[in-house]
Structure 1
């Protein structure tokens, strides 16, 4: 079993939280941050299983094993 590491971004909306994996373009949601993250993990697992069935998992290997650095970028506009 291969382990991949992806980025998860979660933000608050009016009716809960949206979660997204920007590397794969996969998104989900939940009523709490924890639920949104759990749902995103499940959606990414399904995405990867489907990619494997379609013979496309090798294309994702490079994305899921690359080293990443994330930071919050704050920008002010006058």
Structure 2
């Protein structure tokens, strides 16, 4: 008997407004979705990311760290 276990991972969601919709992106996976509200955009992104990961599972990698960088430009 095969038992499938749910995997849970935390990912980054970048949300911004473009014209009349909110865009949500997951940079680690590359998924993107949109919605009329921030909540709709994030909900759509979660679903898009879940569906993507079901088709293309994450490779085993070392932990990733999120930080900020400062860039000067003219």
TM bracket, shorter-chain basis: 0.7 to 0.9
**Which structure has the bigger radius of gyration?**
2
**TM-score (ref. length: structure 1):** 0.72
Runs of 4+ in 1 over 4 A off after TM superposition: 73-78
Comparing both chains, which one has the higher relative contact order based on Cα–Cα distances under 8 Å and sequence gaps of 6 or more? 1
**TM-score (ref. length: structure 2):** 0.75
List gaps (5 residues or longer) in structure 1.
Answer: 52-56
**Once superposed, what is the RMSD of the aligned Cα atoms?**
2.2
List gaps (5 residues or longer) in structure 2.
Answer: 1-5
Larger proportion of helix: 1
Aligned residues: 69
